[in-house]
Structure 1
Amino acid sequence: MAKHKEKDLKSWPIYLYVPNLIGYARIVANIIAFGESFSNKNLFTALYFFSFVCDELDGRFARMLDQASTFGAVLDMVTDRVSTAALLVVLSHLYRPCFAFFLALLALDIASHWLQMYSTFLSSKTSHKDVKDSKSWLVKVYYQHRLFMGYCCIGAEVLYLVLYLLSEDQPHGVIKVFMAGIKRKSPLMLLGLLALPGWAIKQIVNVVQLKTAADICVLYDLERKKRP
């Protein structure tokens, strides 16, 4: 009976796999959230957090139901990157003195992940998380230890949400808002300070990942030139 049920699940159209349905729910939640990002902070935070939790659930259901798919992996990664990018755009408006800083973070996030995915394709790997042959110990630790990677990823998203919630009607710089939050002894500041190291490590990983992925692309070109 259990085998029959598992076979039925596998026979579903890939677009209707449970993890992918969760992915669609994330997209809908994000569309509504960002539509309200400048008018309803509580709704935005709730929906963005819902999407973030679902990011963990889709992977669990994929493994539990044996419904992992290439489409699902791409859907998950694209949703992650677009969500973070959109939040950084919102923050760039809320903290206008730091506009260039948030756009730089956005560019680094997109560029490092895109180049990592492309180098994975060139290396004939099935996942961008397969970094066994990476020359960077930091990238290896990041992708091979789920708790460490989880802390860094969650830390980055939590820090951005904290900055979003601390933002004021009049645009100020990040440091000024942080200092004001510390003076008020805001609980959000404690959460932000706990998340800060994870965010910082993630940015370093993005830079290292960008460089190592670029090296793989260059090596591919050199090896291709050697072919007769």
Structure 2
Amino acid sequence: MESSTASSSAATAANNNVWLFYPNLIGYGRIVLAILAMYYMASSPCCAMICYALSAGLDAFDGWAARTYNQSSRFGAMLDQLTDRCALLALVMALCRLFPDHLFLLQLSAVVDIASHWLHLHATDLSGATSHKQSSNWLLNLYYTDRMFLGFMCGGNEAFYILLYIRAFWAGPLIFGSFHFMSIFPLLAFPIAFVKSAISIVHLYTAAEMVVAHDVKLRVEAAQKAK
């Protein structure tokens, strides 16, 4: 009987080892690939973009693993968000060096992306929601519940920055006078990146509303207790 109980406890402990959840193991792999991408960004654009694209692509699989094996966790959600934000920030930092004339716009895009996602994740924790993908805002609800829309926006946004990075190293032949062939592709992806930034601004505002509502709730509760 004691042996059976001990075995059951050991199995439960193993099942609850969040560090070794399948989606989190994928997340660790994404981090390694992102670091390799950063290492190669200045010297080997081909290696850098292969590693970066693999890291970004695996983002779809960690969510699938979490749903399939019932291994969703707050740690995994935060790990996923941090990997996404830091990897993109590293790429934008490289782009700031490669395209100094567009420094301000690149900085602004990175600031909006990081601030909106950080505040949204923090607001979710304060509100007690079980997932950062829950939202009462119709646009954010569409963004998080329609996987095709989410994949299109995230993939298109990543594609814009990747293609812009590639353009810095391989301009391609001249067409239409002084216009380089490789400039076409980031231009095609730019509208998606622009809309993604607009969604991030909605993220930021909605999250700020949630935090303010939480503050008001705490003040009302404190005032009631003081009576």
**TM-score per shorter chain, which class?**
0.7 to 0.9
Which residue does 1:74 correspond to in 2?
Answer: 78
Determine the C-alpha separation between the residues in 2 that align with 1:61 and 1:8: 19
Greater Cα offset, 36-45 or 94-103: 94-103
Which residue does 2:184 correspond to in 1?
Answer: 189
Shift in Å, 1:13 = 2.4
Determine the C-alpha separation between the residues in 2 that align with 1:109 and 1:55: 17
Which residue does 1:150 correspond to in 2?
Answer: 151
Determine the C-alpha separation between the residues in 2 that align with 1:223 and 1:145: 32
1:40 and 2:34 correspond: no
112, 119, 124: which one aligns with 1:120: 124
Shift in Å, 1:194 = 4.0
1:24 and 2:21 correspond: no
Letter in 2 for 1:189: I
Poorly superposed stretches of 4+, deviation over 6 Å: 7-10
Determine the C-alpha separation between the residues in 2 that align with 1:17 and 1:217: 31
Letter in 2 for 1:122: L
Q: Give the direction of change, closer, same or farther, for the CA distance of 1:14–1:40 in structure 2 (3 Å limit).
A: same
Letter in 1 for 2:102: C
CA radius of gyration, larger in: 2
Determine the C-alpha separation between the residues in 1 that align with 2:96 and 2:35: 18
C-alpha RMSD of matched pairs (Å): 2.5
Determine the C-alpha separation between the residues in 2 that align with 1:88 and 1:58: 24
206, 209, 216: which one aligns with 2:203: 209
Shift in Å, 1:66 = 2.3
Determine the C-alpha separation between the residues in 1 that align with 2:181 and 2:151: 27
Shift in Å, 1:130 = 0.3
Shift in Å, 1:162 = 0.2
Determine the C-alpha separation between the residues in 1 that align with 2:197 and 2:27: 25
Task: Describe the SS at the equivalent of 1:211.
Answer: helix
Which residue does 2:218 correspond to in 1?
Answer: 224
Shift in Å, 1:195 = 2.5
Shift in Å, 1:12 = 6.2
1:81-120 alignment runs, 5 A limit = 81-120=85-124
Shift in Å, 1:86 = 0.9
Structure 2 residue runs of 5 or longer lacking an equivalent are: 1-10
* TM value normalised by structure 2: 0.83
Which residue does 1:61 correspond to in 2?
Answer: 65
Determine the C-alpha separation between the residues in 2 that align with 1:69 and 1:139: 21
Determine the C-alpha separation between the residues in 1 that align with 2:205 and 2:194: 17
Task: Describe the SS at the equivalent of 1:167.
Answer: helix
Q: Give the direction of change, closer, same or farther, for the CA distance of 1:197–1:16 in structure 2 (3 Å limit).
A: same
Q: Give the direction of change, closer, same or farther, for the CA distance of 1:9–1:226 in structure 2 (3 Å limit).
A: closer
Q: Give the direction of change, closer, same or farther, for the CA distance of 1:196–1:203 in structure 2 (3 Å limit).
A: same
* TM value normalised by structure 1: 0.83
Determine the C-alpha separation between the residues in 2 that align with 1:17 and 1:195: 34
What's the CA shift string for 1:203-226, capped at 9, x where partnerless?
001111111111121222222222
Shift in Å, 1:181 = 7.5
Structure 1 residue runs of 5 or longer lacking an equivalent are: 1-6, 170-176
